[in-house]
């Protein structure tokens, strides 16, 4: 399964990539902002996008909505340093497979959402 | 009131010179008007003589009153002089029955002075009420007027020869006849009379222009004399035209008309001048009203003082400005911009000019009334002192309010930045540590103590992240900035160990400082409840009404919270910084209900 990791912290991108690789996923690519994420997704056609909510340009919800319109629509897993409650109602209506607070990002949780 | 008030001109008024001498001349003029007809007999009859004397005395009396009202002004002197002039210029009209050198001289003087009266009336009007001609236009007009009067006097002396028997309406001095032909004489007299037309028109233009340029308070003074003189001038012009058009045979009719008109104007004009002067004087009487009005209320509203002073000074545009730190404020504490040079309004300081109690910003014409300004300022001094204190306190209060709001806003901003730093810094690093531990654990064989330790470390990191998040949310919840009050309260409710329900509609996004104050108010109330109230449920209710937000936090705890305790006092202060209010109901044993009310635009 090919995964695109989107986060503005390079440290997080690298470690999340390593973790996913350790779990047998293929790291399709990385993006540091919403615009990059959309371009990479169209180009690389990943199966899953691990998408941070707080991005410097577009927020994760907007990116998810645009990803949902792609011909090869990827599965989207939102992650954030904030909790689900803090993100509020937009989480309920976002076209995503699931949400993981970053401190609960484990291979098991990721597999459970994408499996 | 021990300190003297400063007048714009501290110089005491200097009385104009020559008034006593003129007054001393009046009895001689009167005596002349009586002695001449008494000795030689008057064809015009005694009533005319008495009338003449009466007019003279009226003008002199009005002039004397004007001198008493304002000794520093030339107006009174002009009026007295005019009175004497009328008394002398009427002598040829008496129709003295004899001739002789003395009578010739008296008659010649009278005939020479008669035309001067017309120019003199213009002078009086244009100089009223100060007695000084303002502007080169009016000064030139008056010079030309006097010059023309002399020319006319010359023509009359040469050409005027009344019917020798009737000697009506005037008796000419017994002068040698230079011009014998009665036709030429008539044409000369008619032409020279007609010559007044453009001059009078010029005077009218100047008078009208003066009135139009006058401010409201000046017009009040000018209205009656200008109106009366204007009406008489209109009749005069009509009569001049009549005289000129009938010069061939009936110039004497015109002359009789002129004479009666002169009589009318001599009666009406001085009275109207007196009315004008008294109206001006009324402003001083209103100072008395001012004292009474300001004294009748113990603490008059500051704005009332401005109104009362505006009435007294007859200047509706009056603004009373009070000096405060770094500028001036009006009686409501609002900033006032002082007029710059060129502005039609000018400034008069009240009190010590170096450190004035207040500034009157007023119509320019009031500059001629330093005594009135001084009197009004003195009368209102105590009230002004009060008003200044009020204005100062208001201005300071506004400043304190603004600075409090700024302090709170700055503190909010600091909290927001701190939260942001925690989120971007420590939290991100701990997350990275957690991920790294997880990867490490996967790469190690499953048996042994190392994976176990790593697992424990991961748990610690997650716990630390949780604490860090709570800490950050306590400093400033990002959800409040991102999504507003209700989501933030919901997130708060989720973290709370006691069951919290959030009711009411989402008020939507509100100004940042209102959301922050409301949030921290609710958060602090909930924290207090958790700590002290032994409550089982807490209910937070949001309600937005017209321009106001109500946040109520109610619990079912022990009650008995004191609104004066440090916690609630702090809440009230926090709310006051955004002009909000806190109400606390906490009867012992019946729970606590705290309501915050905030203006939200």
* Chain A residues in contact with B434 (beta carbon < 8 A): 103
Compute the count of residue pairs across chains A and B with CB atoms less than 8 Å apart. 67
pLDDT digits (tens, 9 = 90+) for A28-78: 999 999 999 999 999 999 999 999 998 998 889 999 999 999 998 999 999
Kindly determine whether residue A16 and residue B435, on different chains, have CB atoms separated by under 8 Å.
yes
pLDDT score for B178: 65
The first and second tokens of residue B460, run together, are 């610690």
- Within an 8 Å CB–CB cutoff, is residue A108 touching chain B? no
pLDDT (mean) for B307-318:
83
Nearest-CA distance B471 → chain A (Å)? 13
Phi and psi torsions of B133, nearest 5°: -80, 130
Domain locations along chain A: 2-114
* A102 pLDDT higher than 80: yes
Residue B360: its H or E element: strand B358-363
Dihedral of the CA atoms B191, B195, B197, B200 (nearest 10)? -150
Least confident of B116-120, B162-166, B263-267, B512-516: B162-166
Chosen from B429, B459, B482 to mutate, greatest number of chain A CBs within 10 A: B482
Q: Are B92 and B104 in contact (CB under 8 A)?
A: no
Q: Phi first, then psi: what are they for B556, rounded to 5°?
A: -110, 35
- Of 1.10.3470, 1.20.120, 1.10.1740, 1.20.1070, the CATH number of B19-282 is 1.20.1070
Q: Long-range contacts made by residues B552-555, C-beta under 8 angstroms, separation at least 24?
A: B552/B593, B552/B594, B552/B595, B552/B596, B553/B521, B553/B522, B553/B525, B553/B526, B553/B529, B553/B593, B553/B594, B553/B595, B554/B591, B554/B592, B554/B593, B554/B594, B555/B529, B555/B591, B555/B592
Contact A103 B466 (CB under 8 A): yes
- Which of A88, A102, A105 is the closest to B479 by Cβ? A88
Q: Please name the fold of domain B484-601.
A: Heat Shock Protein 90 (3.30.565)
Option in A19, A82, A86 nearest B438 (CB): A19
Q: What is the pLDDT of residue B168?
A: 43
Mutate to test the interface with B, among A19, A88, A106 (most CBs of B within 10 A): A88
CA distance B445 to B431: 23
Q: Which residues, 6 or more positions from B243, have their beta carbon under 8 angstroms from its beta carbon?
A: B190, B193, B251, B253, B254, B255, B257, B258
* B317 contacts chain A (CB < 8 A): no
pLDDT for position B248: 52
Q: Give dist(CA A51, CA A113) in Å, integer.
A: 13
Q: Name which residue leads in pLDDT, B92 or B507.
A: B507
Residues in chain B within 8 Å Cβ distance of A79? none
Which range of B168-172, B227-231, B527-531 scores highest in mean pLDDT? It is B527-531
Other Cβ atoms within 10 Å of B487 Cβ, number:
21
Structure token digits, residue B321:
């400005």
> Are the Cβ atoms of A88 and B466 closer than 8 angstroms?
no
Residues A11 and B277: their CA atoms lie apart, in Å, by 93
Q: pLDDT at position B519, please?
A: 93
Tell how strand B327-329 and strand B319-324 pair up.
antiparallel
Q: Is the pLDDT of residue B220 over 80?
A: no
**Is 60 exceeded by the pLDDT of residue B298?**
no
For B426, nearest residue in chain A (alpha carbons): A81
- Contact of A24 with chain B, judged by CB distance below 8 Å, is answered with no
CB–CB contact B465 A85 (8 Å): no
The answer to whether A8 faces chain B, any CB pair under 8 Å, is no
Is A11 touching B (CB cutoff 8 A)? Answer: yes
Is residue B169 reached through a cis peptide bond, with omega within 30 degrees of 0 on the bond before it? yes
Instruction: Report d(CA B474, CA B477) in Å as an integer.
Output: 6
pLDDT at residue A18 tops 90:
yes
Nearest CA in chain A to B488: A86
Task: Return the DSSP state at B427.
Answer: I
Phi, psi of A55 (to 5 degrees): -125, 155
**In this structure, what token pair is assigned to residue B291?**
């004292």
| Chain segment B328-386, per-residue pLDDT in tens | 888 777 888 888 877 778 888 888 888 888 889 988 778 777 878 888 888 888 888 88
Strands, E assignment, A8-114:
26-31, 48-52, 75-80, 98-101
By DSSP bridging, strand B319-324 and strand A75-80 are unpaired
Q: Are strands B537-545 and B499-503 parallel, antiparallel or unpaired?
A: parallel
For residue B531, pLDDT beyond 70: yes
From the list A11, A22, A82, which residue is nearest B428 (CB)? A11
Mutation test of the interface with chain B: which of A8, A54, A85, A108, choosing the one with the most B Cβ atoms within 10 A? A85
Tokens 């340093």, residue located: A81
Instruction: Tell me: pLDDT of B143 over 80.
Output: yes
Residue B17 has pLDDT above 80, yes or no: yes
Chain B environment of A89 (Cβ under 8 Å): 487
CB B324 within 8 A of CB B410: no
Q: What is the mean pLDDT of chain B?
A: 82
Note whether B479 contacts A23, CB cutoff 8 Å.
Answer: no
Token pair for B496: 């709370």
Q: What are phi and psi of B536, to 5 degrees?
A: -105, -30
CB nearest A19 (choices: B439, B465, B479)? B439
Interface contact A103-B462, CB threshold 8 A:
yes
Confidence at residue A37, expressed as pLDDT on a 0 to 100 scale: 94
In A, minimum Cα distance to B440 occurs at A19
Q: Evaluate if residue B501 carries a pLDDT over 60.
A: yes
pLDDT at residue B4 in the model: 41
Residue B266: the pLDDT is 63
The sign of the CA dihedral A35, A37, A40, A45 is: negative
What does the pLDDT read at residue B169? 45
Angle A71-A73-A79 (CA atoms, 0-180°, nearest 5)? 150
Contacts of B427 in chain A (CB under 8 A): 81
Is there a contact between B487 and A86 if contact means CB atoms under 8 Å apart?
yes
Residue in B432, B443, B478 closest to A22 by CB: B443
State the nearest Cα–Cα gap between B435 and chain A, in angstroms: 6
Strand B581-585 and strand B327-329: the pairing is unpaired
Query: Where is pLDDT greater, at B520 or B236?
Result: B520
- Is the pLDDT at B512 greater than 50? The verdict is yes
Residue entry with tokens 């020319």: B151
Confirm or reject contact between A86 and chain B (CB < 8 A).
Answer: yes
Q: How confident is the model at residue B51 (pLDDT cuts 50, 70, 90)?
A: confident
Q: Average pLDDT in the B448-474 region? A: 89
Of B438, B462, B491, the CB nearest to A85: B491
What average pLDDT does range B432-439 have in this prediction?
92
Helix (H, G, I), strand (E, B) or coil at B276: helix
pLDDT at B161 over 90: no
> Domain A2-114 adopts which CATH fold?
Rossmann fold (3.40.50)
Across the interface, whether the CB atoms of A86 and B479 are under 8 A apart is answered yes
- Residue from the list B428, B469, B490 with its beta carbon closest to the beta carbon of A12: B428
pLDDT over 90 for what percent of chain B?
19
Inter-chain CB proximity A83 and B428 less than 8 Å: no
Does the pTM surpass 0.80? The reply is no
Nearest CA among B289, B300, B296 for reference residue B383: B300
Inter-chain touch B442–A22, beta carbons under 8 Å: yes
By Cβ distance, the residue of B428, B438, B491 closest to A86 is B491
């Amino acid at each position: 399964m090919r995964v695109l990791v989107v986060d503005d912290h390079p440290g997080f991108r690298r470690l999340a990539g390593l973790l996913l690789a350790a779990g047998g996923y293929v790291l399709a690519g990385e993006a540091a902002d919403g615009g990059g994420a959309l371009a990479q997704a169209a180009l690389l056609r990943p199966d899953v996008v691990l998408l941070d909510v707080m991005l410097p340009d577009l927020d994760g919800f907007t990116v998810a909505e645009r990803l949902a319109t792609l011909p090869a629509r990827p599965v989207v897993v939102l992650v954030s340093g904030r909790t689900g409650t803090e993100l509020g109602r937009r989480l309920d209506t976002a076209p995503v497979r699931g949400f993981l607070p970053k401190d609960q990002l484990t291979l098991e949780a990721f597999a459970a959402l994408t499996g | 009131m021990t300190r003297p008030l400063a007048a714009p001109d501290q110089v005491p008024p200097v009385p104009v010179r020559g008034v006593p001498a003129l007054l001393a001349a009046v009895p001689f003029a009167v005596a002349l008007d009586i002695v001449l007809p008494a000795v030689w007999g008057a064809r015009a009859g005694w009533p005319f003589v008495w009338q003449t004397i009466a007019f003279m005395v009226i003008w002199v009396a009005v002039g004397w009153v004007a001198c008493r009202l304002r000794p520093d002004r030339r107006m009174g002197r002009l009026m007295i002089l005019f009175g004497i002039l009328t008394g002398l210029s009427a002598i040829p009209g008496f129709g003295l029955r004899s001739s002789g050198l003395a009578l010739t001289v008296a008659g010649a003087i009278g005939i020479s002075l008669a035309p001067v009266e017309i120019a003199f009336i213009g002078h009086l009007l244009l100089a009223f009420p100060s007695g000084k001609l303002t502007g080169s236009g009016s000064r030139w007009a008056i010079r030309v007027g006097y010059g023309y009067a002399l020319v006319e006097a010359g023509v009359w002396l040469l050409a005027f020869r009344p019917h020798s028997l009737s000697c009506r309406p005037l008796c000419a001095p017994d002068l040698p006849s230079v011009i014998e032909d009665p036709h030429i004489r008539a044409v000369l007299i008619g032409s020279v009379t007609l010559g007044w037309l453009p001059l009078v028109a010029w005077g009218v233009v100047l008078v009208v222009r003066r009135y139009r340029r006058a401010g409201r308070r000046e017009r009040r003074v000018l209205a009656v004399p200008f109106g009366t003189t204007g009406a008489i001038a209109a009749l005069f012009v009509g009569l001049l035209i009549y005289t000129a058009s009938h010069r061939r045979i009936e110039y004497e009719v015109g002359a009789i008309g002129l004479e009666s008109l002169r009589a009318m104007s001599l009666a009406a004009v001085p009275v109207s001048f007196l009315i004008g002067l008294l109206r001006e004087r009324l402003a001083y009487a209103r100072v008395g009203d001012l004292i009474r009005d300001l004294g009748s209320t113990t603490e008059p509203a500051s704005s009332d003082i401005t109104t009362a002073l505006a009435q007294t000074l007859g200047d509706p545009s009056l603004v009373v400005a009070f000096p405060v730190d770094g500028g001036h404020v009006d009686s409501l504490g609002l900033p006032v911009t002082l007029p710059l040079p060129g502005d039609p309004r000018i400034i008069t300081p009240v009190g010590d000019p170096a450190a004035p109690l207040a500034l009157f910003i007023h119509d320019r014409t009031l500059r001629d009334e330093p005594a009135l300004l001084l009197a009004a300022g003195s009368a209102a001094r105590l009230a002004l002192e009060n008003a200044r204190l009020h204005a100062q306190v208001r201005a300071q209060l506004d400043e304190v309010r603004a600075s409090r709001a700024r302090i709170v806003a700055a503190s909010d901003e600091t909290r927001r930045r701190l939260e942001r730093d925690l989120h971007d810094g420590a939290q991100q690093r701990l997350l990275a540590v957690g991920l790294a531990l997880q990867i490490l654990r996967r790469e190690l064989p499953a048996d042994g103590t190392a994976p176990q330790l790593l697992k424990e470390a991961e748990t610690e990191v997650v716990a630390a992240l949780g604490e860090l998040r709570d800490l950050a949310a306590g400093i400033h919840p990002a959800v409040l900035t991102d999504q507003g009050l209700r989501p933030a309260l919901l997130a708060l409710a989720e973290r709370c160990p006691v069951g919290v329900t959030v009711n009411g509609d989402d008020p939507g996004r509100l100004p940042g400082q209102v959301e922050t104050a409301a949030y921290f108010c609710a958060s602090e109330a909930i924290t207090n409840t958790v700590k002290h109230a032994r409550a089982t449920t807490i209910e937070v209710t949001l309600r937005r009404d017209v321009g106001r937000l109500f946040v109520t936090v109610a619990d079912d705890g022990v009650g008995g919270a004191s609104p004066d305790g440090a916690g609630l006092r702090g809440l009230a202060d926090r709310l006051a910084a955004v002009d909000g209010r806190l109400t606390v109901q906490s009867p012992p044993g019946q729970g606590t209900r705290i309501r915050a009310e905030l203006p939200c635009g």
